[in-house]
């Protein structure tokens, strides 16, 4: 499965919502850590998408 930045952000939002609903502090921290990590993955996925698009445009320009 190929996750997009929006997929990661949706998962991060869900983790943050879960963090609000839990009583135990350690569980809340687990959800917040997950959300933070997923937001980082969203940023990385966005950068990868941009680099791939740039490479594709460059290769098409070289061919055509």
For residue 10, CA distances in Å to 17, 18, 60 come to 11, 12, 33
For residue 33, CA distances in Å to 8, 20, 29, 30 come to 13, 13, 6, 5
pLDDT of residue 1 exceeding 70? no
Q: Please answer whether residues 9 and 39 qualify as being in contact, where contact means their C-beta atoms are separated by less than 8 angstroms.
A: yes
- Report the residue count for the chain: 64
pTM: 0.82
Domains in the chain: boundaries:
5-63
Digit-coded pLDDT (tens) for 7-61 = 999 999 999 999 999 999 999 999 999 999 999 999 999 999 999 999 998 888 8
């Amino acid at each position: 499965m190929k996750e997009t930045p929006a997929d990661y952000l949706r998962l991060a939002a869900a983790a943050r919502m879960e963090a609000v609903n839990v009583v135990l502090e350690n569980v809340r921290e687990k959800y917040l850590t997950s959300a933070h990590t997923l937001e980082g993955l969203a940023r990385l996925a966005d950068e990868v998408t941009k680099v791939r698009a740039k490479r594709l445009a460059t290769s098409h320009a070289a061919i055509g």
